[in-house]
Amino acid sequence: DAEITQSPRHKITETGRQVTLACHQTWNHNNMFWYRQDLGHGLRLIHYSYGVHDTNKGEVSDGYSVSRSNTEDLPLTLESAASSQTSVYFCASSRTLGLAGSEDTQYFGPGTRLTVL
């Protein structure tokens, strides 16, 4: 069955370290998204990609980067982790989100809980 996976599921790191969170989907979806979820804020969009070699900044992109070298993967990198980046991170994918009349929705991964000490 097609799915979307994230790794690691839990990560503890120290301030200033570089961290990369993996996201892999087997639906062959063009669109992929990274969100962070914090209490009281719902989900906030970090970066998104419409396809290979395409990346776009979301609402809270400072301190994060992504690259898309293939359809299946969109890794999220924290260049220098900060305590403010302690959060739960969700990856999502969709086929044609945004096209007029499309009822496509986003499919979310299981999440990665990141703690920055």
Contact (CB, 8 A) for 97 and 105: yes
Establish if 97 lies at the interface with other proteins (CB under 8 A).
yes
Tokens of residue 99, six digits = 């096209």
* Total residues interacting with other proteins, rule: CB under 8 A: 29
Establish if 111 lies at the interface with other proteins (CB under 8 A).
yes
Establish if 109 lies at the interface with other proteins (CB under 8 A).
yes
Instruction: Give the per-residue contact string, 56-95, with other proteins (x = CB under 8 A; - = no).
Output: x-xx------------------------------x-x---
In the bound state with other proteins, the residue whose beta carbon lies nearer, of 56 and 80, is: 56
Q: Which residues fall within 8 angstroms of residue 90, CB to CB, at 6 or more apart?
A: 6, 34, 35, 36, 37, 43, 108, 109, 111, 112
Task: Among 15, 26, 80, 105, indicate the residue that binds other proteins (CB under 8 A).
Answer: 105
* Sheet bearing 64-66, strands edge to edge: 4-7, 19-25, 76-78, 64-66
Q: Angle at CA 101, nearest 5°, toward 5 and 44?
A: 45
Instruction: Tell me which residues touch other proteins (CB under 8 A).
Output: 31, 33, 35, 40-45, 48, 50, 56, 58-59, 90, 92, 97-98, 101-111
